[in-house]
Amino acid sequence: MNSMKKSWPNVLAAFLLVTTTIISSVNCLYEDQIKKFDWKTTQIGGVSQAYLELNGFQPRLLVSTRENVIASLCPKTGEVIWRQIFETGARGNIKLLQLSSAASAGDNTAAARPGSTSGFDLLTVQGHAPALVRGWNANTGNLEWEWSLMPIQVEKALSSMWFYRNAMLYHVLPVWKSHLEVTPYFASSGQATGNTAKITAPWISEEKCLLAGTYLACVEGSQLISLDLTANQPQVLTKALGEVSGKPLKAVEGLNGVVVVNGKLVSVKDDIKTCDSLRADSFTIGRFNNQNVIVTASIKDKNLVIDGYTLDTCQQVSELSHSLLYPEHYGPAQIKSFDCKVNRNSDGKGCLFIADTTDDSILAIQQSKFRWTRSEALANVIATEFIDLPLADSEGELENEMKGKAADIVSAFMHRIGSQVMHFKSLLLHVVGLGAKPSATQKAGIVRDAFGLHKMLVVLTKSGKVFGIDNISGKQHWQLYLKNVEAFGNGEQMRLLIQRTSKHFPLQALCVVVAKDKFNGNGLLYRFNPITGQAAEGGLTQLNYKIKQLSLLPETDTDFVKGLLLVDANDKIQVYPENAKAKADGLYIYTANKAKSSLNGFHIKYENNKLTTIPLWNVDLSGHNGDHEIIAVASKNPIERVHSQGRVMPDRSVLYKYINPNLVAVFTQASDSIHKYLLNVYLIDVVSGSVVFSMMHRKVRPPLHVVHSENWLAYAHYNDKVRRTEITTIELYEGKTQANSTVWSSLSAPPMPLVERQTYIIPTLVTSMRETITERGITSKDVLIGTSSGSIVELPWALLDPRRPISSSSNGRDEGALPYVPELPLPTENMINYNQTIPRLNYIYTAPSGLESTCLVVSAGLDVFVTRISPSKTYDLLKEDFDYILISIVLVVLTTGSLVAKHLASRKSLKQAWK
């Protein structure tokens, strides 16, 4: 008993220690803040391989994607159960995804070392230098084992291929136009089972060959040439196709030695059974009623038609026939996998079909209906825009009534009274149920709010898919798909531009997508209503010239549409629509040639209903050896407003900012024998062509990310000398006097600016940067920095300011400025996406809201994250927990008290007057 009493203090001390440790290690948000002002999507990318199992212990859909991701999806809902994200590019390219239960009858257990019983559940092969072979737990996504293979010749290994057969992994290394090198390995150990076999094959080429199970099949004219890579003495097999293949070869997952040629199944040799009479857009194989079944999918008359045929007899299986209306916003579908539940009545209702589309969507089809869909195009966001929502029906009517201008004050007052009467009448009719029916946008809740926080988020993706998303809830209101479009050359992506906003009631908003046609390389325009997603103002327009440069005209026409200014390959000016040509008169434009590292400036002149360009200046940035290459060009945000034109100094003088709207930052990169890497920075006025400022960094190389705003420039780069990421900031000032006090002009040579510059160390790898922007520019500027860990850090400009003094007693600096410290802090409370990390974060976009204090933010990588931030806090908005009852009581008491006091004071003064 005494021992128990003595042990109590020790137990209590241990409990307090554990409790203190747990409490001190917890970081949290308030519960009412989590996902209240933000939302996030979880993406995996377009499917390349898929395995569907509905009859196991746990139904699952295992996929590998074109974004180097493997994942497990719930077959019922399509939700991501787990995912593993590999490296980008060739290093993380998934060469093979093999499920143990999906192998043939003799392949259910992977071979290992002699005497070992270990195998795999899910096996992947990724990369080439080195190639990583990994075994995964398919239920949890945990890595169980791995081994690697480092090739001797890295360049040749880039096109290597892998396949799994009889518990062995075969590594196929093609040397195009020469031979093949085939090496077998034990799957789970990586031990080679023999020597590498070299097979002479001078006809193989990367464009015409692929793996079809254990065969390498190539098409040569009207012949199919193949090799069995598992044979002891491989022989060349040829087969006549009867027609020249117009499309690339495709393999059918699960069928060994069968390829798809012009929509028809063709076996590499006659003894391989296949249904060569079938024609379809895509094929896959599975099992139904204990039989091997080939499933086909084709789009006919805007319907997706799915049919099934037995592999042995090629007879149609009526239970697997489905037809459903196929929406236009999906591209052509490729069937990837299917499976059926065995506990059903063999009526086909328990069968689920998984399809992938060219617009990077995943479709799950059951009983001639879409069971669920996933829009994986959002894994490649390239442009976004926030569009103001239309007014409510009643507000729109009032706006329309108030549109006309009254002649005098009396008529304006009468017009206002009449409008209010009509508004009150409409309200009464709606209350009793006799009013006009609400519009479609009213029913969908797409209505502008009082503070302008509710907007339509228009998203353009790499595949040509455009989405209209509610920025508050994340709901996708509409989708559209642009077929046969691609990005421009020189690394320039497709563009999304706003030609007319929603502020011009009753005119609808108008957006345009500018892209390049895949077939002829000419420009392509698609104009649409961003609120409904429907085509507008002509819709799709094919141009007969290639686009070299594009921008919006600064002025609008009578219909409030900003014209599109295009420069073709011959430096000729084109304006769309043509009636806006006159608006381009007097404009200055420039073009940048990245390959030649040169910039050219032009002046546009409009005469005789024609536009001509006058060359003004040329700047050559290629260096004396001609080896400098332009890697980035950063201009200012065209909608940016500068509220304060100067900074107040401690002596109460004003240091005016150098605010040149025509200033562009140009970065060039070159190699050097001494300094290894050279990074040059040029600030160029693109109207006059003058170089305002230039600077060189030695031993500095990309990745480079730039933010250019107001009178400052910030860019992140990698310092190869000390092997760390740094951020350099530059500020430009005119001095104590302002040269352009009213309107800026680049034609009158202003004095050269005063330049302040500083470099800071950031303890992470930067993947993207963006500055905050507000309606009037009153709110303080913050810089949003995307990190390689998927976090978005909000840093105030005060931390990046190059005018930070070396010590607090420095003269000539701003009052309250932070002393200079080389390291930038990255506090966790400054991460605006808290624990909602974004893998491969590479895009951040900001836009103003109706509140001056609030900025809307979109960030995208593999996932999409949308939120709003307040750099200077919400100084123009009351808090949600504001006590309206208390303030009302205080106001009533103060008003009553003042009236009572006034009455008593008047009585007192009256009594004193009678004395």
Q: Determine the Cα–Cα distance for residues 700 and 670; give it in Å rounded to an integer.
A: 10
Report phi then psi at 365, rounded to 5: -115, 130
C-alpha distances in Å from residue 680, one per residue of 419, 596, 624, 710, 729:
62, 15, 13, 21, 14
pLDDT of residue 434: 62
How far is residue 577's CA from residue 89's CA, in Å, rounded to a whole number?
Answer: 40
The DSSP bridge pattern shows strands 47-53 and 60-65 to be antiparallel
Question: Does some domain include residue 711?
Answer: yes
Measured distance CA(787)–CA(840) in Å, rounded? 9
Instruction: Copy the structure tokens of residue 618.
Output: 């040329």
Is residue 853 situated within a structural domain? yes
| Cα-to-chain-centroid distance, residue 299 | 29
Q: Cα–Cα distance between 283 and 250 in angstroms, integer?
A: 10
Q: Alpha-carbon distance 47 to 80, whole Å?
A: 13
Separation of alpha carbons 50 and 130, rounded Å: 25
Burial 98-111 (b: 16+ CB within 10 A, else e): bbbebbeeebeebb
DSSP H helices in 811-851: none
DSSP string, 517-569: ETTT--EEEEEE-TTT--EEEEEEEE-SS-EEEEEEEEEE-TT-PEEEEEEET
Beta strands, E only, 179-244:
179-186, 197-200, 209-212, 215-220, 223-228, 236-240
Residue showing tokens 């019983």: 117
**Token representation of residue 673:** 């024998």
In a domain, 366, yes or no: no
Q: What is the pLDDT of residue 114?
A: 42
- Nearest residue to 646 (alpha-carbon basis) of 710, 576, 563, 575: 710
How far apart are alpha carbons 833 and 39 in whole angstroms? 10
Q: What is the DSSP letter of 752?
A: P
What residues pair up with 860 in beta bridges, in sequence order?
843, 864
For residue 357, what are the β-bridge partners?
Answer: 333
Nearest Cα neighbor of 124 from 151, 144, 105 is 144
Q: Rounded distance, CA 888 to CA 885, Å?
A: 5
Cβ neighbours of residue 571 closer than 8 Å, sequence gap 6 or more: 548, 591, 602, 613
Residues listed for the chain: 915
Residue 352 maps to a domain: no
State the total domains in the chain.
1
**Residue 639 forms part of a structural domain:** yes
Q: Which amino acid belongs to residue 834?
A: Y
Contact (Cβ atoms closer than 8 angstroms) between residue 564 and residue 576: yes
Instruction: Give Cα 111 to chain centroid, integer Å.
Output: 42
- Give pLDDT, residue 226: 92
Query: What's the domain range around 843?
Result: 621-740+750-877
Angle between helices 393-401 and 409-431 (to 10 degrees): 160
| Backbone angles phi and psi of 320, in degrees to 5 | -100, 10
Is the distance from CB of 460 to CB of 382 less than 8 angstroms? yes
Q: Cα separation of 194 and 747, whole Å?
A: 76
Structure tokens at 644: 């304060």
The alpha carbons of the chain give a radius of gyration, in whole angstroms, of: 34
Q: What are phi and psi of 419, to 5 degrees?
A: -65, -40
CA–CA distances in Å: residue 659 to residues 68, 662, 817, 909:
44, 9, 22, 62
Query: β-strand 258-261 against 250-251: which pairing, if any?
Result: antiparallel
**Phi, psi (rounded to 5 degrees) for 192:** -70, 140
**SS3 annotation, 348-413:** CCCEEEEEEECCCEEEEEECCEEEEEEEHHHHCEEEEEEEECCCCHHHHHHHHHCCCCCCCHHHHH
Give backbone dihedrals phi and psi of 484, rounded to 5 degrees, phi first: 60, 40
Its sign, for the CA torsion 878, 880, 884, 886, is negative
Residues of the chain with pLDDT under 70: 1-33, 102-119, 344-345, 393-408, 427, 429-445, 741, 808-815
Q: Are 306 and 318 in contact (CB under 8 A)?
A: no
- What is the per-residue pLDDT for 455? 93
Report CA-CA distances (Å) from 617 to 452, 504, 519, 589: 43, 39, 35, 11
Q: How far apart are CA 546 and CA 854, in angstroms?
A: 40
The answer as to whether 531 is a domain residue is no
Beta-carbon count within 10 A of 403 CB: 9
User: C-alpha angle with apex 509: 508 to 513, nearest 5 degrees?
Assistant: 135
CB atoms within 10 A of CB 794: 19
Residues 4-59 pLDDT 10s? 444 555 555 555 554 444 444 444 555 556 777 899 999 999 999 999 999 878 89
Q: Is residue 724 part of a domain?
A: yes
Question: One-letter amino acid identity for 701?
Answer: R
Task: Supply the pLDDT for residue 522.
Answer: 92
Bridge partners for 70 per DSSP: 64, 84
Burial of 267 (0-12, 13-18, 19+ CB in 10 A): buried
Indicate whether 838 belongs to any domain. yes
Residue 320 and residue 367 in contact, taking contact as beta carbons nearer than 8 Å: no
pLDDT digits (tens, 9 = 90+) for 204-229: 998 889 999 999 999 988 889 999 99
DSSP designation for 639: T
